[in-house]
Amino acid sequence: MSNNEVSAEFIDDYIKKMAMESEKNRLQLLDNSLIYEEPLVGFASGDDPIFSQYKTIIGEFHMTPRDALEKATGQTPEKVSVISWILPVAEKTKATMRRERTYPTERWAHAREFGEVFNEFVRAQVAQVLTERGYAAVSPYLSPSFQRIVSDTDRTSNWSERHIAYACGLGTFSLNDALITPKGMAMRCGSVVVGLELPPTPRKYDFYAAHCPFMVDGSCGKCIDRCPAGAITEKGHHKIRCFNFQTAFADPGVKRYDLPRIGCGFCQTGVPCESAIPWGLLKRPGQGSTQ
Ligand code: B12
Ligand code: SF4
Ligand code: SF4
């Protein structure tokens, strides 16, 4: 099969168009409004050394882009790239959460549930359009190789979508672990690996948590008080406390909405990093910018 030319612009437009036009990006059981606003899209070389570093930072089990592509397709293309996208939660949904303190709003819970259904659709569609044009492609999260790694003290995976987004220049980590992107922390993200050369998006940061004022100089810390579970402290994010707390929202007798999962996300809303990088808190007099 001969390859049809695919450019970074084509992929960027394809993902943005899908978000704006797909019925799946709508809160169909509520008011049919958008789940996500316009996505951000970034790229990295699959051979960027950061992906091997993740075997130390995350664990030996974390797949490199080549691992994921070769396992799924059996192909070893000369050039490999990673495509990552950020799906920013719509303003209307974030606004409902800002007023709440204890139980996620119905809009947030629907956006979590059906927003991830849409995210899976984007992963599958992007991989398919590239495959149809003759390129080896896989969404590692949807592939049989994807594994969640669960213990009494940790919850992780062998394809961390936010580490992939970090590598693709889309944002940095934070005090509460979540990724702060130019469109904020209230988002979900996804990725596809493709046997094609794409121009890497510059990473405009040299510290893995450069977008979080607490991690830069100990200021902000607003997510500590926002978390109703006490899962965020000055020492960071307690994943098991967080997991147990949000799982309890879906217990019969507690559950308020007819959904399998409720999610949480108080730390992602009503905080300075909710919808943007909090530059105002990062640019302190005499300190200059971290951008
Ligand atoms: C397991 C999991 C959880 C677990 C554990 C989260 C965690 N910290 O890993 C629990 C159940 C607690 C959880 C909770 C939530 N989750 Co969750 N979860 C996942 C899942 C399935 C895997 C995460 C994973 O692999 N983590 C890997 C580990 C290693 O990451 P980590 O411990 O945070 O990494 C730290 C270190 O690596 C460190 N680090 C140290 N040195 C260095 C150096 C460098 C260079 C770098 C880059 C990093 C680094 O940085 C990190 C932060 O400290 C992903 C989906 C996916 N496949 O990625 C979604 C995901 C992370 N979850 C997401 C969301 C939205 C949520 C919730 C809001 C729930 C909800 N929707 O209602 C909460 C938010 C909690 C929070 N503050 O992060 C989003 C991310 C949104 C965001 N803004 O970051 C994801 C990506 C799902 C998606 N497809 O979008 N989640
Ligand atoms: S609320 Fe403040 S301290 Fe917490 S992650 Fe956001 S910027 Fe960092
Ligand atoms: S998702 Fe909820 S429980 Fe987990 S850290 Fe954020 S606010 Fe706390």
Q: What is the mean pLDDT of residues 228-245?
A: 97
Percent with pLDDT over 70 in the chain: 96
Is residue 23 a part of any domain in this protein? yes
The whole-number pLDDT of residue 289 equals 46
For ligand 1, atom 11, name the residue with the nearest CA.
243
Is residue 287 a part of any domain in this protein? no
Q: Which ligand 1 atom lies nearest to the CA of residue 58?
A: 29
Is residue 291 a part of any domain in this protein? no
**CA separation for the pair 179, 273 (Å, rounded):** 10
The whole-number pLDDT of residue 285 equals 57
Cα 199 to averaged position of ligand 3 atoms, centre (Å): 35
Query: Is the confidence at residue 3, as pLDDT, over 50?
Result: yes
Query: What does pLDDT average to over the chain?
Result: 95
The whole-number pLDDT of residue 283 equals 78
Using H for helix, E for strand and C for coil, what is the string for 8-74? HHHHHHHHHHHHHHCHHHECCCCCCCECECCCEEEEEECCCCHHHHHHHHCCCCCCCHHHHHHHHHC
Is residue 55 a part of any domain in this protein? yes
Supply φ then ψ for residue 67, to 5 degrees: -50, -50
The whole-number pLDDT of residue 272 equals 98
Q: Which ligand 2 atom lies nearest to the CA of residue 281?
A: 7
Query: Is the confidence at residue 41, as pLDDT, over 60?
Result: yes
Give the total number of structural domains in the chain.
1
| Nearest ligand atom owner, CA of 165 | 1
Question: Pocket around ligand 1: residues whose beta carbon is below 6 Å from it?
Answer: 57-58, 112, 119, 141, 148, 155-157, 159-163, 166, 173, 176-179, 185, 187-190, 208, 237, 239, 242-243, 263-265, 267-268
* Confidence band of 286 (pLDDT split at 50, 70, 90): low
| Nearest ligand atom owner, CA of 174 | 2
- Ligand 2 site, residue 42, Cβ cutoff 6 A: no
Q: Is 131 helix (H, G, I), strand (E, B) or coil?
A: helix
Q: Which ligand 2 atom lies nearest to the CA of residue 175?
A: 5
| Nearest ligand atom owner, CA of 240 | 1
Tell me the pLDDT tens digit for each residue of 154-166: 999 999 999 999 9
Is residue 100 a part of any domain in this protein? yes
Query: Is the confidence at residue 288, as pLDDT, over 60?
Result: no
The whole-number pLDDT of residue 90 equals 98
Q: Which ligand 3 atom lies nearest to the CA of residue 246?
A: 3
The whole-number pLDDT of residue 52 equals 98
Give residues with Cβ within 8 angstroms of 225, minimum separation 6. Answer: none
Percent with pLDDT over 90 in the chain: 93
Is residue 161 a part of any domain in this protein? yes
Q: Which one has a higher pLDDT value, 290 or 254?
A: 254
- Ligand 2 site, residue 220, Cβ cutoff 6 A: yes
Cα 239 to averaged position of ligand 1 atoms, centre (Å): 9
Is residue 46 a part of any domain in this protein? yes
The whole-number pLDDT of residue 4 equals 73
- Ligand 2 site, residue 171, Cβ cutoff 6 A: no
Q: Which one has a higher pLDDT value, 236 or 291?
A: 236
Query: Is the confidence at residue 284, as pLDDT, over 90?
Result: no
Is residue 289 a part of any domain in this protein? no
- Rounded-to-10 torsion of CA 5, 6, 10, 12: -170
Question: Is residue 97 packed enough to be buried (19+ CB in 10 Å), middle (13-18) or exposed (0-12)?
Answer: buried
Report if pTM > 0.95: yes
* Confidence band of 252 (pLDDT split at 50, 70, 90): confident
The whole-number pLDDT of residue 5 equals 85
Tell me the pLDDT tens digit for each residue of 68-109: 999 999 999 999 999 999 999 999 999 999 999 999 999 999
Cα 273 to averaged position of ligand 2 atoms, centre (Å): 6
Query: Is the confidence at residue 2, as pLDDT, over 70?
Result: no
Domain extent for 21? 8-278
Q: Which ligand 1 atom lies nearest to the CA of residue 242?
A: 12
